[in-house]
């Protein structure tokens, strides 16, 4: 079983009626619900206002893949929680970073860049093109899929060159974005996926659910290790 | 001085009035003319119907950067000329591959893939987005530039993952393309650039000229070598 | 079941007593034998002197992963067989290229470079270091493993930058090599692995068998497709 | 002119006689001295115990390339200085990270990983192999060069996959390291180079000076920008 934890800031849903109408129990519950239909996945959720943001060491140690949605309150996530999540990723935990979490502390920490981009909230149609049709995250998708309305995110997107670019987003109003990007940091796999604005039912869209489910399967660690330290070693012994 | 050779198939211009109207002396002459205004560049041209396609060993040995435009007659370029160009690239000669030359023998040879893509000839507007604003080829360009009409090329584009993706093309009709891609093969630098359909005055567009001129400067070899062979060596001597 | 075909030139074993002593039935049979102990793998072999090199279209169409060992007679593999194998790789078939097959027509075709390197046949000890401990191909291996004797292959190795570098080889006499390199070309995954000189029992070494078995599992295609052609498309239809 | 600032922790030289004997005025002065012989370079130095670590905003704003050597006291560099240097790099300033600065706050910040590796202080001979002979940083160097004694740094080195691997280090005692690694973060170029242990005269070695001088020329920014913010934009206007 793949042990998934879906983390959500869970603030918009309590204060913005438009968001509450789409995600009455929170974005995390919607994501958890569709992942839960996969027989190989078992899901928990965690949110900002729980103790330790719901991300105790015990939770992280028993999480294979963590999903992260945040927007308004990135700065409220304590640095010690960010340290803890980073260490888990470097040890092997997968991390899927959704939409406005491009500006989360944990994503910026792992990328080393500002992760800035341009944005417009005009509800453009978005088309997501598969540029790596052989990649596990693109399986089951044809050349592209569409979302009737999304927030527009545009280049330049200040990220390191992805290890693998899987999707490019095309927006009706004229922008493009590297919208699905794979990275490895330490032993952990990271996938950034652009769709998921809180005022649209993006996480209820069939193809978005396909991509996120694929990404969970892809991000499962090959192995988990105690964080590699920086050991003073002796001359290596033969190992035939 | 950077010694540039602009190679053109030079067939459309002789048989298609629309093309002749835009490029009466051939696409190569238009490209040569704007490059020639750069004080650091000296330009020659070569075309398919010249002896040895205009690409004798002597021409290649005195070319720092070769530009290539072809479309109808890729198959008419003899394999021995392709071998010769490939060897020059591996030794260090820069190569800039324009538009429909994605299907040229030399580009497919260097990529190892089919270089297939999808295409529509509807004269869509194209917007080219800079995704690597720090790259030498993108200097002088803001976040994007536009072309009023271009042939639409769409993903999936069957190329190896670029060493560096510099431009993404957005098309009015809904496609995207990795439209500016950098590679290194052997000691040679290669840049594929999508714009340049023969029925539009693309090579007369200011920003296209900027990109191609930048690419010429970027593709200049650091050094030219006799093609590395596969030598049987002795135990390396100390070299302090 | 993963359908594997092990291709071997199978010439040294017939003419060189030292090789025959180690691999009396041919290198391919030794590789096939250890792969055959994996319950998820079913193995066939093919050799140069069989009709069509043993690689009929039917064989390739029913092969998930092809292994390739060659040395003396790369030039005897007909170009039409190389075309056929390349097309299969671009459609999704995995390819594992062993040792001196760095100079095989199929590897050079897929890389686009000379694939030259330096070599010494002094029977140096080789140590293979894992530089991507999270990679599927490195699973089960600690930081490194050793081979008592191998042919020394040295940098510079004229290959495109690997999509992923998994192993670096250290040789007693002072060389290094990027000894385990992953690529994607089209939909196919490719792994080059340096060990495997015919005069040493390298393919009987435990860790080499681990690496090759891991590589077979890794190279299984996500999906097989008819080779993408270069279709003239119409304006994309919405696909929600 | 390329404006270089050489930053050094400058502690070993004051407390360890072996180090003081080699670098009586500090590692930074030795590096500054050889860079200063390049007509296109103008050099300043800065050290940990100066106010603001010698890295005021004004200094950074007038630095094209910053070199960084640190070891004992990484933790004494205040986070606000690290923030400031990171922002300068993202805006375009080049950064060259030397030897034990793999564990500096600034390098770990930009990489997002632990940057751990293994180490032995046995004074092994090191051989540095050029794996990217076409790269600007490798110009003037043949296939390899040697250092009679260096600290041994070994894989696995917990760094993101380099954008470009230029050198691999071979150590007499059996290790290898990705010893020369290029990255881009934001608009800034970063080069990590392994040689430079304080108890050996590594920065006086001819080839090391060649590499560092080449790296300075390579790391010069194409352009410097105000840090890209994350602007709310309007629909892009045509820009022909």
For residue A227, pLDDT beyond 70 = no
Q: How far is CA A42 from CA A37, A38, A187, in A?
A: 9, 8, 22
Across the range D89-108, mean pLDDT stands at 97
Strands A164-171 and A118-130, how do they pair? antiparallel
Share of chain B above pLDDT 70, in %: 99
pLDDT of residue B184: 97
B146 interfaces chain D, CB cutoff of 8 Å: yes
Residue among D112, D119, D230 whose CB faces A111 most closely: D112
**Alpha-carbon distance B164 to nearest alpha carbon in chain A (angstroms):** 8
Q: Are C222 and A130 in contact (CB under 8 A)?
A: no
Instruction: Describe the strand order of the beta sheet including A144-154 as a list of residue ranges.
Output: A41-47, A2-8, A65-69, A94-98, A188-193, A176-185, A164-171, A118-130, A144-154
Chain A residues inside the 8 Å CB shell of C163: 164
**Alpha-carbon distance B204 to nearest alpha carbon in chain C (angstroms):** 26
- What is the distance between the alpha carbons of residues C217 and C140, in angstroms, rounded to a whole number? 13
Q: Are B156 and B169 in contact (CB under 8 A)?
A: no
The residue with greater pLDDT, B62 or A234, is B62
Contact C234 B121 (CB under 8 A): no
B156 interfaces chain A, CB cutoff of 8 Å: yes
B1 confidence band (pLDDT: 50, 70, 90) = very high
Mean pLDDT of chain B: 95
Q: Which chains border C (3 or more CB–CB pairs < 8 Å)?
A: A, B, D
C238 confidence band (pLDDT: 50, 70, 90) = confident
At D5-44, the pLDDT tens digits run: 999 999 999 999 999 999 999 999 999 999 999 999 999 9
The residue written with tokens 């046995």 in the block is D122
Query: Quick one: tokens of D62?
Result: 């007038």
Contacts of B12 (CB under 8 A, 6+ apart): B19, B71, B72, B198
Residue among A156, A161, A176 whose CB faces B164 most closely: A161
Q: Are A45 and A54 in contact (CB under 8 A)?
A: yes
C78 interfaces chain A, CB cutoff of 8 Å: no
A223 confidence band (pLDDT: 50, 70, 90) = confident
B-C Cβ pairs (cutoff 8 Å, strict): 100
D148 interfaces chain B, CB cutoff of 8 Å: yes
**Alpha-carbon distance B175 to nearest alpha carbon in chain A (angstroms):** 7
At C179-197, the pLDDT tens digits run: 999 999 999 999 999 999 9
For residue D224, pLDDT beyond 90 = no
Chain A residues inside the 8 Å CB shell of D156: 228
Mean pLDDT of chain D: 95
Q: Is D126 exposed, middle or buried (0-12, 13-18, 19+ CB in 10 A)?
A: buried
Chain D residues inside the 8 Å CB shell of C152: none
Contact D236 A175 (CB under 8 A): yes
**Alpha-carbon distance D184 to nearest alpha carbon in chain C (angstroms):** 16
**Alpha-carbon distance D154 to nearest alpha carbon in chain A (angstroms):** 9
Q: Which ipTM score applies to this complex?
A: 0.95
Q: Give the nearest chain C residue to A202 (CA atoms).
A: C240
For residue A166, pLDDT beyond 60 = yes
For residue D231, pLDDT beyond 90 = no
Across the range B118-134, mean pLDDT stands at 95
pLDDT of residue D228: 63
Identify any residues that bridge with D170 across adjacent strands, giving them in sequence order.
D127, D176
Interior angle at CA C68, CA C63 and CA C73, nearest 5: 130
Query: Quick one: tokens of D36?
Result: 């200063």
Mean pLDDT of chain A: 95
For residue A226, pLDDT beyond 80 = no
Contact C114 B227 (CB under 8 A): yes
pLDDT of residue C9: 98
Cis peptide before D156 (omega within 30 of 0): yes
**Alpha-carbon distance A210 to nearest alpha carbon in chain D (angstroms):** 28
Chain B residues inside the 8 Å CB shell of C230: 103, 114, 116-119
DSSP state letters, C29-60: HHHHHHHHTSTTEEEEEEETTSGGGG--HHHH
Q: How far is CA D123 from CA C169, D20, D126, D193, in A?
A: 21, 18, 9, 18
pLDDT of residue B222: 86
Which CATH class, in words, describes the domain spanning B2-219?
alpha beta
pLDDT of residue B157: 96
pLDDT of residue B238: 83
- Whole-model pTM: value is 0.96
C-D Cβ pairs (cutoff 8 Å, strict): 62
At A208-222, the pLDDT tens digits run: 999 999 999 999 998
The residue with greater pLDDT, A235 or B228, is A235
pLDDT of residue B234: 83
B228 confidence band (pLDDT: 50, 70, 90) = low
D162 confidence band (pLDDT: 50, 70, 90) = very high
For residue B18, pLDDT beyond 80 = yes
pLDDT of residue D196: 98
Contact D134 B239 (CB under 8 A): no
Residue among B110, B119, B160 whose CB faces C233 most closely: B119
Q: Tell me which of B216-220, C204-208, C236-240, D121-125 is least confident.
A: C236-240
Mean pLDDT of chain C: 95
Domain boundaries, chain D: 2-112+180-219
Query: Quick one: tokens of C85?
Result: 């194998």
Across the range C50-71, mean pLDDT stands at 98
Backbone angles phi, psi at D50, to 5 degrees: -75, 160
Contact D165 C170 (CB under 8 A): no
CATH topology of domain D2-112+180-219: Rossmann fold (3.40.50)
Find out if CATH 3.40.50.720 is the number for domain C2-113+179-219: no
Number of H helices, E strands in chain C: 7, 9
For residue D178, pLDDT beyond 90 = yes
- What is the distance between the alpha carbons of residues D81 and D106, in angstroms, rounded to a whole number? 9
Contact D127 B187 (CB under 8 A): no
Q: Tell me which of B156-165, C141-150, D221-230 is least confident.
A: D221-230
Interior angle at CA A37, CA A33 and CA A42, nearest 5: 80
For residue C71, pLDDT beyond 80 = yes
Contact A187 C133 (CB under 8 A): yes
Instruction: Describe the strand order of the beta sheet including D164-171 as a list of residue ranges.
Output: D41-47, D2-8, D65-69, D94-98, D188-193, D176-185, D164-171, D118-130, D144-154
Handedness of CA A38, A39, A41, A47 (dihedral sign): positive
Contact A240 C205 (CB under 8 A): yes
At B35-50, the pLDDT tens digits run: 999 999 999 999 999 9
Cβ neighbours around D29 below 10 Å, total = 18
Contact D133 B187 (CB under 8 A): yes
A117 interfaces chain D, CB cutoff of 8 Å: yes
């Amino acid at each position: 079983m793949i042990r998934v934890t879906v983390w959500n800031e869970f603030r918009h849903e309590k204060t913005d009626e438009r968001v509450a109408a789409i995600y009455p129990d929170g974005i995390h519950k919607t994501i958890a619900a569709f992942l839960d239909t996969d027989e190989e996945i078992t899901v928990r959720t965690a949110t900002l206002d729980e103790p330790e943001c719901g991300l105790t060491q015990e939770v992280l140690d028993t999480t294979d893949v963590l999903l992260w949605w945040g927007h308004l309150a990135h700065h409220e996530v304590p640095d010690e929680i960010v340290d803890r999540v980073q260490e888990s990723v470097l040890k092997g935990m997968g991390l899927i970073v959704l939409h406005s979490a491009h500006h989360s502390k944990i994503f910026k920490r792992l990328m080393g860049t500002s992760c800035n981009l341009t944005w417009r909230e005009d509800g453009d149609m978005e088309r997501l093109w598969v540029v790596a049709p052989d990649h596990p995250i693109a399986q089951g998708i044809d050349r592209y899929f569409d979302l009737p309305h999304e927030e527009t995110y545009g280049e330049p997107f200040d990220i390191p060159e992805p290890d693998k670019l899987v999707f490019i987003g095309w927006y009706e109003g004229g922008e493009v974005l590297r919208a699905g990007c794979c990275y490895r940091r330490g032993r952990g796999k990271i996938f950034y996926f652009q769709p998921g604005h809180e005022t649209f039912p993006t996480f209820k869209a069939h193809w978005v659910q396909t991509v996120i489910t694929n990404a969970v399967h892809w991000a499962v660690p090959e192995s988990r290790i105690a964080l590699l330290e920086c050991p003073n070693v002796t001359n290596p012994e033969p190992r035939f």
